[in-house]
Amino acid sequence: MAVLAECPFCHRRQTAKSKRCASKNGKGCGADLEKAKRSGKVKYWIAYRIPGGKQRFEKLTGKNSTSVEYARAADAKRKVQKKENRIFDIKPESKMTFQELTDWYLGLEKVKALASYPSLDAYLKKFSSEFGKLTVNLIKPADLENLQAKRKTEGMADATVDHEIGHARGMIIKAFDNDLVSGDTLKAFKRVKKLMKRNANARDKIITPEQFRALLDSKNLPLHIRGILSTAFYTGMRRGEILSLTWPQVDMKNKVIRLEAKDTKDREARVIPICPELFQVLQEIPRAVHDDHIFLYGGKPVYDIRTGLREACKEVGIEYGRGSKDGFIFHDLRHCFNTYMRKAGVAESVIMSMTGHSSREMFDRYNKVDETDMKLAFVHFRKLLASVDQNVDQKGDLKK
């Protein structure tokens, strides 16, 4: 344990005995700390280790935070608490409620910049309605399991329940990385198992090019949705990326769509080619003067296309919706793009670059192997055998 002084100029922490600002590697600013201490500008910290070896730095607050005597008294108190094994008394989560931790997390600039922030905010508010007033260290695995059971009785899907607890878990991990909660609290959230089995929600639905063209020609499909479906089928872009697409992101001259990191789910920039079919569709869309969004309805950006898509599917005989065994949904067009690109012989690395899949596991989930693929594989296999037969002599050696 130790008392540390914070330089009021460069904010480096160092031993309280330092007369001038200087860290171990000699990169201090050289400020006169003795003078700063006398004028009450130096604030103090105490450093100590909790069970498990993790070091914690605690900044003193209040009117006495610039008093070295107060800092030494706080340091002595922590020593006694540690010696008497009253470790919960010195863990910050013993005083912080879950709602207070949520306010801290949702206030982080990096979190606020997430495309999923509205969803994250909603899930954490729902979780806080159950545990918001509790101090964080009081939430145990049994409490989280009880919440799972409660949500199930309320009729929630397994995936929705997992999302709620998963977002809370993600916040706890971030708090642990910033020394706001201990490993004990982190373990409580990590021990709770998900209700959904791995890849249980993975979809296999692929529509044929003929079915896709029938959808576009459907009388029940609103005109503004046709461009959205075409963009999904010919680019593999996600729904949110398409609905938020603006004209400045579309380079019609070079026939590419340029997405910046802030525009994508995985926060990685992408460049997506525009094929002739999609180029023609985009050319026919009128540009609004008051809004840069490409897909508008009634002069406003489109946010929901389910009704129009459902009616069009009904007309052309395609089962629609997650509730049906073989039901089609908009996101399946992303599966179609991956699968047909692979069938066309495009390298997997190129496909992953266009769709924004960061892992092979996710790519495999979207790339579907069907009966046609297996039949073609056998055709190629027979051609290979025939080729080998023609180039090997009776002794089994390669012909010269």
Distance CA 147, CA 170 (A): 17
Mean pLDDT computed over every residue of the chain = 81
Q: What are phi and psi of 197, to 5 degrees?
A: -75, 155
Give per-residue burial for 17-55: e unless 16+ CB within 10 Å, then b: ebeebbeeeeebeebebeebbeeeebbbbbebebeeeee
Residue ranges per domain, the chain? 2-89, 98-190, 209-368, 374-400
CA dist 379 to 169, 286, 330, 342, 344, Å? 50, 47, 33, 17, 16
Q: What are phi and psi of 171, to 5 degrees?
A: -65, -40
Say whether pTM exceeds 0.75.
Answer: no
From the list 250, 356, 349, 357, the residue with the least C-alpha distance to 294 is 250
- Please give the pLDDT value at position 396: 44
Q: What are phi and psi of 254, to 5 degrees?
A: -95, 0
Neighbours of 162 (CB within 10 A): 20
Distance CA 275, CA 235 (A): 8
Distance CA 92, CA 109 (A): 22
From the list 132, 188, 196, 130, the residue with the least C-alpha distance to 162 is 196
- Please give the pLDDT value at position 357: 61
- Please give the pLDDT value at position 380: 46
- Please give the pLDDT value at position 372: 57
DSSP-based three-state secondary structure for 17: coil
- Please give the pLDDT value at position 272: 87
- Please give the pLDDT value at position 293: 93
> Please, is 367 exposed, middle or buried when counting C-beta atoms within 10 Å of its C-beta (0-12, 13-18, 19+)?
buried
Q: What H or E segment, with its residue span, contains residue 364? A: helix 360-366
- Please give the pLDDT value at position 173: 92
Token pair for 225: 């949705």
Q: Which overall architecture, per CATH, does domain 209-368 show? A: Orthogonal Bundle (1.10)
- Please give the pLDDT value at position 84: 64
Neighbours of 168 (CB within 10 A): 26
Distance CA 357, CA 355 (A): 6
Q: What H or E segment, with its residue span, contains residue 148? A: helix 141-153
Distance CA 285, CA 337 (A): 22
Token pair for 215: 């959808």
From the list 45, 167, 166, 43, the residue with the least C-alpha distance to 105 is 167
Taking the CA atoms of 250, 251, 255 and 261 in sequence, report the sign of the dihedral they define. negative
* DSSP per-residue letters across 327-374: -B-TTHHHHHHHHHHHHTT--HHHHHHHHT--SHHHHHHH----HHHH
Alpha helices in the chain (DSSP H): 33-38, 68-83, 98-106, 109-112, 117-131, 141-153, 158-177, 183-190, 209-217, 223-235, 239-243, 276-283, 306-316, 332-343, 348-355, 360-366, 371-390
- Please give the pLDDT value at position 385: 47
Tens of pLDDT along the chain (400 residues) come to 789 999 988 888 889 998 998 866 667 788 899 999 999 999 998 888 765 566 778 888 777 889 999 999 988 887 887 776 554 445 555 568 899 899 989 998 888 887 678 889 999 999 999 999 998 888 999 999 999 999 999 998 888 899 999 999 999 999 888 878 878 888 889 999 988 765 555 566 788 889 999 999 999 999 889 999 999 999 888 888 999 999 999 999 999 999 888 888 777 888 888 888 999 999 999 988 889 999 999 889 988 898 999 999 999 999 898 777 788 889 888 888 888 887 777 777 777 777 766 555 555 554 554 555 445 544 544 555 456 445 544 444 444 4
